Amino acid sequence: MKTLKTYVKRGEFFKAVVEDGSDIIFIVDYSGEILYHNPSVQETLGYGANKLVGKNFFDFILPSSLPDFRKAYQQSTKRKFNESVEFQFLCKDKSYKYLEFNSINLFQKEKIKGLILDCRDIAQRKKDAQELLRAQKAKELFLANISHEIRTPINGIAGMASLLSQNPGANEQASYLHAIQSAADNLKVIINDILDLASIESGKLKLEQIGFNLNDLLKSLLNTFSFQASEKQITLRYQLEEEANKIYIGDPVRLNQILLNLISNAIKFTQHGSILISCDVKKKETKKYVLVFEVTDTGIGIPKDKLRTIFESFSQADASVTRKYGGTGLGLTIVKQLVELQNGSITVKSEERVGSSFSFTIPYELGSRDNIKGHLIKDSPLHKKTLKGLSILLVEDNDINRLYASSILKIWDCKIDIAENGYVAVEKIKNEDYDIVLMDIQMPLMDGFEATKAIRAGLPPRNQVPIIALTANATRKDVEQCLASGMNDCLSKPFTPEDLYNKLVMFKSGLKKISDPFAEVMRQKGNIDLAYLKNVSNNNQEFINDMLTAFLESIPKSIEEIATNIDNKDWLGLTRAVHKLKPSLTLIGLHTTREKAAGLEELTEQGKETDLVISIANEICEDLHEALLTLQKLVMKNPRST
């Protein structure tokens, strides 16, 4: 039986890899003349066997890109290897196909002025990249235009604040403050929608099922818009039929957002007259009601030919509407999505210079007072909760946010200390023991990320205090950045008392301080940085020990492989050995050594200064020897648990 060694020795793999392989292989001289190509050329480019032999490679490159391609080709003639050179090659059917080549320079070993080009078809990859770019541009356009969605609640807050400054009576003050609170809640919803854009577009937005009072919801909405309506001298009112005036179970925040968008549009496009918001029961069963909401205005109306596209993204009646009234037309797109996500439907009737009427239906289950979730009012169950004795450092530079958080914490009998910025927080933690740190991110002098890194770099056990980020940015990237800096969790602002309480309870249950068993050894030897391992494992010491043990086993092999390649003057093998080692260097925090490895790779790719390459490789081996000794101490000090 033929053995694998015999197969390799006879070179029989050549046919499987080169002749029958899927990659296109060209052998060309430095001037571009094609001396060989494999059969894959026919399948991908349409040319038969040897049809391109004797022709010049440059004659098949897309003319507009030929100057750039010549430069990349010339670089390949001067390097040992070159990779990922993209170009468009003329096919037999006269179309151009995207290819990419990696080159091997035959001059390095064979002293032959020629290149082996290993080419791959990347047409699908380019198509995917273009689609990704298109999607990215659409997303950027969406975010750039969504600002009008934020404008309405901000206007409401500003309007109510203006009325409060005119010294109204006690009842009016309460009404205005309620409207400000409602507008702030609406603003939070819209911002969350922007951050959760992917969920909205994919139809995976999570809907709440909580109790709400429909009359209270509509009254709050009218308060939000009362200032804007009075400024334009528009009559704004709502009409809730008696049969519909009940408590329902559903998502009041999404209903609020739908009505907010429709009322906002009605006010924007109505110069005089009135706006009516009405709600009635369309259909009812024992425990389920189908409600029909209608927002009717006496505004400019919508042309008939535009009614079909009114719910599409970025669509408005015409360009003059955009110039005169502002906005993007995204509001109605969001409205339609939110209505349909709740198993409802929406329609519009309109007549130019007469007005418009938007009508939508949503089914809700009947609820009761027990289903309603309120804020932290006097009869709230959270008033009966206690976190007595819990020592919290609140790091927040904004006076209002600081007052809000500290007021809630006092209700639960927490012991509270305040720091106005990250620098003050770091100094306080050096001298005081805290159970939890609530850390704002954007602060003067020292932000939350820098403060957290400084705390984690301090002495145990205080450097292990749980840190919860208070951040207005709630994207996945922001959360990952918080965790990477050493924080334990995130709480997005503005947060509810329930949100804060749940976070504190979660960490309170595990507040036993964890000492850092690696600290003493690490202070003795600063070459290794285990911050990355601690972050990815949430400081799981058994996991870290397992990783260190694995490194202890692999490092001697790496040292031997590097040394062998140096002795054999196998620079390609040396490059591969160092490249393979780099992820391990990142994991155990040998940052300087990793930089050396990257520099060595670059030098070998350029075929430069062999003596310098050997010197750097030897330095890497020395660093690994020192790391080996340090790791042995760490593992001996903290043996793996069984």
Q: Is 494 left (phi over 0), alpha (psi -120 to 50) or beta?
A: beta
Task: Check residue 146 and give its pLDDT.
Answer: 59
SS (H, E, C) 616-640: HHHHHHHHHHHHHHHHHHHHHHCCC
CA separation, residue 318 to residues 149, 296, 305, 355 (Å): 19, 21, 11, 17
Residue 324 phi/psi, 5° resolution? -80, -40
Look up residue 92 and give its two tokens. 């037999």
Task: Check residue 377 and give its pLDDT.
Answer: 43
Q: Is the pTM of this model over 0.75?
A: no
Task: Check residue 521 and give its pLDDT.
Answer: 36
- CB of 442 closer than 8 Å to CB of 448: yes
Task: Tell me the β-bridge partners of 350.
Answer: 356
Amino acid making up residue 260: L
CA–CA separation, 267 vs 418, rounded Å?
Answer: 44
N- to C-terminal Cα separation, the chain: 48
CA–CA separation, 237 vs 9, rounded Å?
Answer: 90
Assign 298 to helix, strand or coil: coil
User: What is the strand order of the sheet 391-395 is part of?
Assistant: 415-419, 391-395, 436-440, 467-471, 489-492
Low-confidence ranges of the chain (pLDDT < 50): 196, 314-329, 374-379, 512-526, 641-642
Q: Which is it for strands 288-297 and 247-250: parallel, antiparallel or unpaired?
A: unpaired
Look up residue 313 and give its two tokens. 């993204």
Task: Check residue 152 and give its pLDDT.
Answer: 64
- CB of 367 closer than 8 Å to CB of 358: no
- CB of 58 closer than 8 Å to CB of 70: yes
- CB of 632 closer than 8 Å to CB of 549: no
For the chain, how big is the Rg over CA atoms in Å? Answer: 34
Task: Check residue 512 and give its pLDDT.
Answer: 37
Q: How many CB atoms lie within 10 A of CB 333?
A: 20
CA–CA separation, 33 vs 378, rounded Å?
Answer: 86
Domains of the chain: 20-121 (3.30.450.20), 139-371 (3.30.565.10), 381-515 (3.40.50.2300), 524-637 (1.20.120)
Upper half-sphere CA count for residue 539 (Cβ side, 13 Å):
17
Task: Check residue 525 and give its pLDDT.
Answer: 38
CA–CA separation, 440 vs 396, rounded Å?
Answer: 5
Residue 6 burial by Cβ neighbours in a 10 Å radius (0-12, 13-18, 19+) = exposed
**In the block, residue with structure tokens 């951050």:** 195
CA–CA separation, 106 vs 289, rounded Å?
Answer: 79
**In the block, residue with structure tokens 């050096």:** 430
Angle, CA of 287, 290 and 291, to the nearest 5°: 125
